[in-house]
Structure 1
Amino acid sequence: MESLPIIDIAPLVGHGDHVRVAEEIAAACEAHGFFYAVGHGVAPDVLQALEEESRRFFALPLERKMAIAMSRGGRAWRGYFPIGGELTSGRPDLKEGLYLGTELSPDHPRVRAGVPMHGANLWPEEVPGLKAAATAYMEGATRAAAALMQGVSLSLGLDADWFSRTYTAEPTVLFRIFHYPAGGSQEHWGVGEHTDYGLLTLLAQDRYGGLQVRTPSGWIEAPPIEDALVCNIGDMLERLTGGRFKSTPHRVRNVSGHDRLSFPLFFDPDFEARLQPLPVAADRIEADKSERWDRASVHEFEGTYGDYLLAKVGKVFPQLKDTALGASS
């Protein structure tokens, strides 16, 4: 049975054999676009607290969760959505969730300018521990993602700080807490087939699993591994590499018989960055256009990463598009 590789990224987080890690990252990104990361530096007690506080939140009555609904988050695009409130490829997902991101004050220049997806998070009053738990995890996972991007840089023959200089000095960091209720079936997807939009996703999952990854030989399971985070690359890294590193389709079906939690953190380019393919990737772009799973192209759009992101999320929550994103979408 095919499985995803496991990469110890501790040398990137601390000091060690960066060359070895870069080679393993390159092989994983070329073969699957997915791998497990261990040695990431996020402590087990941080993950435990996040799961405990998240379960307390999702156990609240619906009306209490709706007190921080995304419709109240405005242009920051933060808050809670109920089961069926998020679409994938036009179909409702069998999950509920909480959208979070980098906490920005009202006087931040982008918040003052009304830039979508920038602002403050919404937190439930009934679960006061969730803010501290989620913030601690976001900080740890963001550090791990930044270290991983150093490995990606090296794997592409660039210096370790290339991405931090060009696209992630002020990254777009988005975080989701998802709850997939028990009682799923083979006919109902928690999340349908899709790819992620940006550079890199780090995913913590509870012990129940459900994630599936599309490989050249077919769909495979990506079950939880203790103390490991699942890492996958997004559309913008495929764009930059001309398809050498693929943004791999994946999906979720919870047939465990238990409520499932997952915690994806998206470490993406600066919202205002314009991403151009690496010079070494130019001769790969035409082939990549014809090979992508959905026949769409990550190479043909013009504009900033924010333009790309807003076009995507506007389809995920069409009911919020006009009020939250406004003319910018």
Structure 2
Amino acid sequence: MIAQASQEWGFFQVVNHGISQDVLLKMRKEQMKLFKKPFHEKMNDKQLNLSAGSYRWGTPSATCLQQLSWSEAFHVPLTDISNSIHHPTTLSSTMEHFATTVSELAHNLARILSERMGYKSKYFREICLPHTCYVRMNRYPACPISPQVFGLMPHTDSDFLTILHQDEIGGLQLVRDGKWISVKPNPEALIINIGDLFQAWSNGVYKSVEHRVVTNKAKERFSTAFFLCPSYDTEIRSCFEPSVYKRFTFREFRQQVQEDVKKYGYKVGLPRFLMSTH
């Protein structure tokens, strides 16, 4: 499945991933058409049959310019995509094809990463199901006040794995050795990002890397992401002992993140769940 991958501290790019360029390019085309719709249609698009709140823009909770994300997105559960097939459109059928193929890739990658640790299990197949995983379509408009605001604020992902297909514009950056490094777009590759849950489950063997999206004054940018997530009631615990992290449910983790963002304006994440050293 994978011919080569260059690893970067929990971020790596995968080629020969088995997902055709036709699928990826068609997804990009349909996504761009969707974002061109008027704001009121995106907020209440009946054709997509999406859950309430799927369309998101900016950062409604921002209290200062530094917390504002210059972006809009559709954050769609896989079950919404499956349901939309009952009233098929070009967009819904394209999303369904994309979600099916990328979901299978995500499960295969999770299996490979766990086997490299000597851990063979159907763990991810059993807990990461269609009703718990998501596809996210992102648009980052050209920003006249770049670089004062980010397309996406610095953060780590809260899932197990994120698979990202970005366009040729670029803008994704990650932290390495305390410095921000740009991820150069590669049309043949998909970007794989280790999330917080995988770091906790692997007992810190794999790292969830802080990343951000910088804005562009002249050009808009598009990307599509798949998030491999468990149900909110799933208990996350390290697969090795002694454990670096306390046991916690995905719901507890998400609630703590939301509380921290509301209180401090940013996500604290896994440091909240470290085992006590006392």
Give the TM bin, normalised by the shorter chain.
Answer: 0.7 to 0.9
Tell me if the contact between 2:69 and 2:151 (Cα under 8 Å) persists in the aligned partners.
yes
Q: Label 1:64 to 1:104 Cα distance change in 2 as closer, same or farther (>3 A).
A: closer
Alignment correspondent of 1:208: 169
CA distance in 2, matches of 1:58, 1:170: 24
TM-score computed with the length of structure 1 as normaliser:
0.68
Paired residue total: 259
| Residue from 40, 43, 57 that aligns with 1:82 | 57
1:276 partner amino acid: R
Alignment correspondent of 1:239: 200
Q: How does 1:59-98 map to 2 (within 5 A)?
A: 59-68=36-45, 76=51, 78-85=53-60, 91-98=67-74
Is 2:185 the counterpart of 1:224?
yes
Offset at residue 77 of structure 1 (A): 5.7
SS of the residue aligned with 1:172? coil
CA distance in 1, matches of 2:63, 2:127: 27
Tell me if the contact between 2:152 and 2:213 (Cα under 8 Å) persists in the aligned partners.
yes
Offset at residue 268 of structure 1 (A): 1.9
| Residue from 153, 163, 172 that aligns with 2:132 | 172
Is 2:217 the counterpart of 1:307?
no
Offset at residue 196 of structure 1 (A): 0.4
Alignment correspondent of 1:194: 155
Tell me if the contact between 2:160 and 2:196 (Cα under 8 Å) persists in the aligned partners.
yes
Aligned CA RMSD, in angstroms, stands at 3.5
Q: Label 1:165 to 1:251 Cα distance change in 2 as closer, same or farther (>3 A).
A: closer
2:19 partner amino acid: V
Is 2:108 the counterpart of 1:147?
yes
Gaps of 5+ in 2: 264-278
Tell me if the contact between 2:132 and 2:230 (Cα under 8 Å) persists in the aligned partners.
yes
Alignment correspondent of 1:267: 228
Alignment correspondent of 2:76: 100
CA distance in 1, matches of 2:129, 2:44: 34
The structure with the largest helix share of the pair is 1
Offset at residue 167 of structure 1 (A): 3.7
Alignment correspondent of 2:273: none
| Residue from 247, 253, 266 that aligns with 2:214 | 253
Is 2:3 the counterpart of 1:58?
no
1:309 partner amino acid: R
Q: Label 1:208 to 1:237 Cα distance change in 2 as closer, same or farther (>3 A).
A: same
Tell me if the contact between 1:209 and 1:256 (Cα under 8 Å) persists in the aligned partners.
no
| Residue from 2, 21, 43 that aligns with 1:9 | 2
Tell me if the contact between 2:202 and 2:238 (Cα under 8 Å) persists in the aligned partners.
yes
Question: Taking every aligned residue pair, what percent have the same amino acid on both sides?
Answer: 25
